[in-house]
Structure 1
Amino acid sequence: MSIDFHKALGVHQDTLRLRAERTKVLASNIANESTPGYQARDIDFGAVLQSVQADDGAAGLAFESGDADLQYRVPYHPSRDGNTVELGMEQAAFSQNASEFQASLTFVNMKLKGLAKAIVGQ
Structure 2
Amino acid sequence: MKLFNNTFSTVENALNYSSLKQRVIADNIANVDTPNYKAQDVSFGAMLNSSMNQAFSAKMTDQRHIPFQSVSDNPAIITQQNVEYNDNGNSVDIDKEMSNLATNQIYYSALTDRINGMFSTLQTVIKGGK
Bin the TM-score by the shorter chain: 0.7 to 0.9
Name 1:83's counterpart in structure 2: 90
What is the alpha-carbon distance in structure 1 between the residues aligned to residue 103 and residue 82 of structure 2?
19
Q: TM-score, normalised by structure 1?
A: 0.79
Name 1:23's counterpart in structure 2: 22
Q: TM-score, normalised by structure 2?
A: 0.75
Name 2:39's counterpart in structure 1: 40
Q: Which amino acid aligns with 2:109?
A: Q
- Cα RMSD for the two superposed structures: 2.8
SS of aligned partner of 2:41:
strand
Query: Which structure shows the bigger proportion of residues in helix conformation?
Result: 1
Shift of 1:75: 7.9
Contact 2:47–2:75 (CA under 8 A) maintained in structure 1: no
Give the alignment partner of residue 68 of structure 1, picking from 75, 91, 94.
75
Gaps of 5+ in 2: 58-68
Q: Which amino acid aligns with 1:34?
A: D
SS of aligned partner of 1:42:
strand
Name 1:92's counterpart in structure 2: 99
Shift of 1:37: 0.4
Q: Which amino acid aligns with 1:16?
A: L
Contact 1:16–1:104 (CA under 8 A) maintained in structure 2: yes
Change over 3 Å in CA distance of 1:74–1:93 after alignment to 2? farther
- Percent of aligned pairs sharing the same letter: 26
1:119 aligns with 2:121: no
What is the alpha-carbon distance in structure 2 between the residues aligned to residue 56 and residue 107 of structure 1?
23
1:13 aligns with 2:20: no
